[in-house]
Chains A and B, each alone.
Chain A
Amino acid sequence: MRHTISVLVENKFGVLARIAGLFSARGYNIASLAVSETLDPTISYMTIVVEAQDEKILEQIKKQLNKLIDVITVTDFTKREHIDRELVLVKVSLSAKDKAKLEAILDRFVAKIIQHKAKTAIIEAVGDQSQIKQLLEGLEKFGIQELVRTGRIAIAN
């Protein structure tokens, strides 16, 4: 099962390597990882989506993260109300005659065409996990040529 964890860390060189190293050394899987500065330039915010088979492993992951000296707080969103979003860029095959069809799909999401060339279009979309999943299913019939995702970011309600 996937769990979303946010981690506040010291904004120092090597911190990302400590987090990544912890996951690889202990055999935990990261599904996605997003890192950025916060309003306080000495602190970075990480949103980590982890694969954990059971509660025990999730607990270990949180405890091991907390043990790192550069980790300030760890928040588990599994049982907390939160909002999460992901931004995706999708390049699809698109001929001029199909454009209206594509726009009809995009209208149901927070998504738009940001570039349209002769045979392809690049779409930008923002949404939670299930919205992005539905959008990608809708786009499949056009032929997805390339897909880039930021990974999930999350904030507590």
Chain B
Amino acid sequence: MTGAQILLECLKREGVEVMFGYPGGSVLPLFDCLYDRDIKFILTRHEQGAAHAADGYARATGKVGVCVATSGPGATNLTTGIANAYMDSIPVVAITGQVKTYLIGNDAFQEADVTGVTRPITKHNYLVKDVKELARIVREAFHIASTGRPGPVLIDIPVDIQQQNTDFIWPEEVVIRGYKPTYFGHPGQIKKAAKLISQAKRPILYVGGGIIASGAHGELKQLAEKTQIPVTMTLMGLGSFPGTHQLSLGMLGMHGTVYANHAIMDADLIIAVGARFDDRVTGRIDAFAPAAKIIHIDIDPASISKNIRVDVPIVGDAKNILAHLLQEIKQLPDTSEWLKTISSWKKKYPLRYIDEGRLKPQYIIEQIYEATKGEAIIVTEVGQNQMWAAQWYKYDKPRTFLSSGGLGTMGFGFPAAIGAKVGCPDKIVFDIAGDGSIQMNIQELATCVSNKINIKVAILNNGYLGMVRQWQELFYKKRYSYTNIYNPDFVKLAESYGAVGIRVTKKEEVSSAIEKALNTENTVFLDFHIEPEENVFPMVPAGEAINRMIGGMA
């Protein structure tokens, strides 16, 4: 078989059903093989879109997402998407063409040192120099991407390797001596954690994307309900615990709820699971949760004690450890007083907005929640739209809120929504966008229409790069430097691609417009003209302790 045939055979055996990508000179042999294979291929209009689509597919399905690009510019266009997947620990395999082996290093046409470029933004990467190694490398790449702390792996394949012939040998086993993730927590540490939990008066579960990656949402719910410990989630953790559950405090951190931030600051025990004490969560680190002992459960040992001192570190898979912990907790903590305090905060400082004047974005999200009965997959762009989507939609199930958390990539949402819809065709997929972000990958409208991919895009159009404008308003004396943006007519734009556009300027029109969009068998742009200077509150100014919030303090 040729290298290209071996690659496709490997992908088939890895269970790959769909790839996202873009052809080019250095992947011609691969695309020639694709021509008569049954593996589904979604042609995007930009390689960045392909990388985000693979990422969105992986987030929505839990399977490995695959994207393909040619050498040089094709590959460098993937890098934002790869870095995005890396920061959020999403399993993606990126396949790039490379110039012929004997031209590597010669500054050949469309050559870039792609393994060099992507080294710091991949979990691992490979340059294939011998076709005999290709099958083993593909096998390893999928194994590395999807196990341990997941992440993107890139395989760079020179065009002549794709053409060379060799026997296909499928490696049944993967043996990598330098890679052995820990899955089971240390029993002694789990006992210690159980003891701390039994004794705690003001415990809180602080959980992140690791719960979703590990599939530990069931165990988390059992643990919270059994111990009556409230749960707060990071942006990446939304959906890991039901947002409608009475023990849910919603999101914490910079734009978290007041009660979540108060609760974690006043806690005497923090049980962190699959979360990494990111600066957007902790705020000023030396002021963070001064009275709390910390149990930190994570599969990545390097995440533990990186940002904050930890009393009981437990390295391993969240699902296994939570199951084990459930057995170990014999004496339940008494959290009734604590829950009363929290419930008074909830009453006193609910999430709120003033619903007067022009159309409010929070209202739109609430209406989308109503119309979709909380069952849609919500994908977001980055900025105000993202925070409103995190605050005002309630996520009851994992893999229903897909957002660029670590890297904060504008332009992520639309192509990621494509990936999510391809992976979950029976789900309603809504991209909550801003007028700035949507223009960063708007070319993917063509991908939607030509592949009959049915996505709803709610553009919260305020004519500003809203989050930056908000910071300029609050911290830079309203000097709106280059944040007031000119926009196209999004309705006509959608129509010109063959999609549907609906403009909404009044509150009364919102729910019928959403209904109409949901009843349309096509991608729809909902162009909501919202209050231009609406802010996301509550908010913790950068570098402040997270209970020093502005806005939303009643």
Q: How far is the CB of B98 from chain A (nearest CB, A)?
A: 14
Please give me the residue from chain B that is nearest to A71 by CB atom: B178
Which residues of A are found within 8 Å of B120, using beta-carbon distances?
21-22, 25
Asked whether, in the complex, the Cβ of B178 is within 8 Å of the Cβ of A60, the reply is no
Asked whether, in the complex, the Cβ of A60 is within 8 Å of the Cβ of B176, the reply is no
Which residues of A are found within 8 Å of B477, using beta-carbon distances?
none
Asked whether, in the complex, the Cβ of B178 is within 8 Å of the Cβ of A17, the reply is no
Asked whether, in the complex, the Cβ of A68 is within 8 Å of the Cβ of B127, the reply is no
Give a binary string over B157-185; 1 marks a CB under 8 Å from any A CB, 0 the rest: 00000000000000000001111000000
Total count of chain B residues near the partner, CB < 8 A: 17
- Near B by CB (< 8 A), chain A positions 61-97 give 63-64, 66-72
- Near B by CB (< 8 A), chain A positions 1-57 give 9-10, 13-14, 17-18, 21-22, 25, 56
Asked whether, in the complex, the Cβ of A14 is within 8 Å of the Cβ of B127, the reply is yes
Q: Does B115 contact A (CB under 8 A)?
A: yes
Asked whether, in the complex, the Cβ of A69 is within 8 Å of the Cβ of B178, the reply is yes
Q: Does B319 contact A (CB under 8 A)?
A: no
Cross-interface CB contact of A63 among B119, B123, B178, B302, cutoff 8 Å: B302
Q: How far is the CB of B270 from chain A (nearest CB, A)?
A: 19
Q: How far is the CB of B486 from chain A (nearest CB, A)?
A: 37
Asked whether, in the complex, the Cβ of A17 is within 8 Å of the Cβ of B119, the reply is yes
Q: How far is the CB of A156 from chain B (nearest CB, A)?
A: 19
Cross-interface CB contact of B178 among A14, A56, A72, cutoff 8 Å: A72
Which residues of A are found within 8 Å of B115, using beta-carbon distances?
14
Q: How far is the CB of B127 from chain A (nearest CB, A)?
A: 7
Q: How far is the CB of B427 from chain A (nearest CB, A)?
A: 34
Q: Does A59 contact B (CB under 8 A)?
A: yes
Q: How far is the CB of A73 from chain B (nearest CB, A)?
A: 8
- Near A by CB (< 8 A), chain B positions 283-306 give 300-302, 305-306
The chain B residues found within 8 Å of chain A, CB to CB, are: 115-116, 119-120, 123-124, 127, 144, 176-179, 300-302, 305-306
Q: List 21 A-B contacts (CB under 8 A).
A: A10-B178, A13-B127, A14-B115, A14-B127, A18-B119, A21-B119, A21-B120, A56-B305, A60-B302, A60-B306, A63-B301, A64-B302, A67-B300, A68-B178, A69-B144, A69-B176, A69-B178, A69-B179, A70-B178, A72-B177, A72-B178
- 9 shortest interchain CB distances as A-B pairs: A63-B302, A69-B124, A72-B178, A25-B120, A69-B179, A71-B178, A63-B301, A21-B119, A72-B177
18 new A-B pairs (CB below 8 Å) besides A9-B178, A18-B119, A21-B120? Answer: A10-B178, A13-B127, A14-B119, A17-B116, A17-B119, A21-B119, A22-B120, A25-B120, A59-B305, A60-B302, A64-B302, A66-B302, A67-B300, A67-B302, A68-B178, A69-B178, A70-B178, A72-B178
